[in-house]
Amino acid sequence: MFDRHGNLKVTLGMPGKGGSDLDPLQFDQVSDVAFSCAGDMFVVDGDDGINHRLLKLSADRQLLWSVGEEGSGPGQFRVPHSVDVDRFGQVWVADRRNQRVQVFNGQTGSYVGEWTFGEDVYAVRFSTDKFRVFVLQELVGNLLMLKSPSMLGFLGNYELIDILHMPIPVIPHMFSVSPVTESVFIAQLGAKRCRKFVRRTGKSKCWLWLATMCLVPRKASTKIEPMR
């Protein structure tokens, strides 16, 4: 973990040695992390590695619990690829090859429910106010905007608000939502770039592409808009 100036502050796990042990704590293929309002840390460890699990660490980075194993049942994973926390403190995991998002109680790690999508789910993120949840489907190029659940411990069926579709060859792999402007930044592996999108509201609801951040060296004349 680094501070905002890029200084290394904390190292978790055993550098250069992958594994599944919990004491001492080891990781194999960590794919994403998220934090609760209280500073607790949630880690998904299983990007095509030997582990398929979700871990919770306290604010002082002590292990509190670990759930998950390889499989397709409740609480099992096949490539847990992304994680985020909703307004109730529930933990959402993009269970990629099971084509679903699973939700867990943030305090106990117990299984709450799931939404299935029929396509591999690569990433899940919430809007700043937590009232919308975004789900990324890399293989079909879709970013889904859904209404987040209004009750603790109950998901119901998901309600689609909007879809941002991208050409499949750009391979949208992961994304982040700006906490200031709610712009969406999408890393596109096939296009070797990161693109910034905003959703226009009002009568003409649509997604607007605002900027491109290149992920490979380009000519010095390439203009990049400052991120906010």
At residue 29, the pLDDT reads: 92
160: number of Cβ within 10 Å: 10
Of 20, 164, 155, which is closest to residue 91 (Cα–Cα)?
155
At position 155, the amino acid (one-letter code) is L
pLDDT per position as a tens digit, 78-113: 999 999 999 999 999 999 999 999 999 999 999 999
Cα–Cα distance measured from residue 219 to residue 225, given in angstroms and rounded to the nearest whole number: 16
Distances (CA, A) of 56 to 60, 85, 96: 11, 12, 20
At residue 170, the pLDDT reads: 94
Instruction: Give 201's pLDDT tier (boundaries 50, 70, 90).
Output: confident
Q: Tell me if residue 163 falls in helix, strand or coil.
A: strand
- What's this model's pTM, rounded to 2 decimal places? 0.89
pLDDT per position as a tens digit, 132-178: 999 999 999 999 999 999 999 999 999 999 999 999 999 999 999 99
Domains of the chain, earliest start first:
30-168 (2.120.10.30)
pLDDT per position as a tens digit, 20-78: 999 999 999 999 999 999 999 999 999 988 999 999 999 999 999 999 999 999 999 99
Residue-level length of the chain: 228
Cα–Cα distance measured from residue 205 to residue 220, given in angstroms and rounded to the nearest whole number: 35
**Which neighbouring-strand residues pair with 82?**
94
